[in-house]
Amino acid sequence: MSLSRWLLKLQSFKLEFLLPVPLLLIAFGLGGEPLTNLLLSRYYGTVDKLQADTHTLTMQLVANVRVIKAEIEKERDFTIVELKTANSVLKKLEFKFPATELSSIKGMIAEELGVSAEVETLQPNTQMQVQLAVKALGILAEIDKEQGFTKVEVNTADSVLKKLEFEFPVTELSSVKAMIVQELGLSPENATMLVSYRLKS
């Protein structure tokens, strides 16, 4: 059969619109890969580091605490100090210092806590009034209904004070929210923005 007969048959079937399809497939097959490689190999200028929208909030805390234990963990380039307290809902303060000398650490802790006597800051059974201004990055409230308390961790953006830990003797969500607002000095709007809640199972 000649080409003209095929065209007449196609005309009778109304399929002449299918003639360009094989040509398009060949064009995509031959040109698609080089086009894809060209687009993917182009440089698109991006920022080197990921930029997250972090909200910090400065909190002013004043608490009367009694230091019951100081744990010091020396690493190669820094020292981690945990102060465990009693007499308050503030139960633990965690510091990370770039120094490893104990004498300089005591002075830094005293300055951070707003305490004048630097020698007493790491001694057990030391009663002190802590005055802190911290920049809170996030707050996690873990409600433990079985034990009957809520543990609240405040992660900070401060250079030395890294974490504060509170224990509230309530487990109802509305009571936890109210205590966080009251004890941490937050507005209800800021508490909603910063606090995450989790039920301990």
Give the Å distances, CA to CA, from 1 to 9, 16, 43, 46, 59: 11, 17, 54, 61, 90
Residue 103 burial (C-beta neighbours within 10 Å; 0-12, 13-18, 19+): exposed
> Do 11 and 78 sit in the same domain of this protein?
no
Would you state the structure tokens that stand for residue 43, as one six-digit string?
Answer: 């440089």
pLDDT of amino acid 165:
93
Q: Would you say the pTM of this structure is higher than 0.85?
A: no
- Whether residue 80 sits in one domain with residue 26: no
Question: Would you state the structure tokens that stand for residue 161, as one six-digit string?
Answer: 């004070």
Q: What is the pLDDT of residue 119?
A: 45
**Number of folded domains that form the chain:** 2
Residue of 166, 73, 77, 70 lying closest to 110 (CA atoms):
70
- State whether 29 and 121 are in the same domain: no
Domain that holds residue 177: 57-199
Residues 116 and 30 in one domain: no
List average pLDDT for each run of 10 residues in the chain, which is 201 residues long. 69 66 83 84 67 68 77 78 83 81 75 64 74 86 93 87 91 92 87 88 74
* 48 domain residue, yes or no: no
Do 109 and 148 lie in one domain? The reply is yes
* pLDDT for the residue numbered 88: 83
Query: In the structure encoding, which two tokens stand for residue 101, read together?
Result: 């000398």
**Would 50 be classed as within a structural domain?**
no
Q: Give the pLDDT confidence score for residue 138 in this predicted structure.
A: 87
Would you state the pLDDT for residue 1? 55
Per-residue pLDDT, 153: 94
- Is 133 domain-assigned? yes
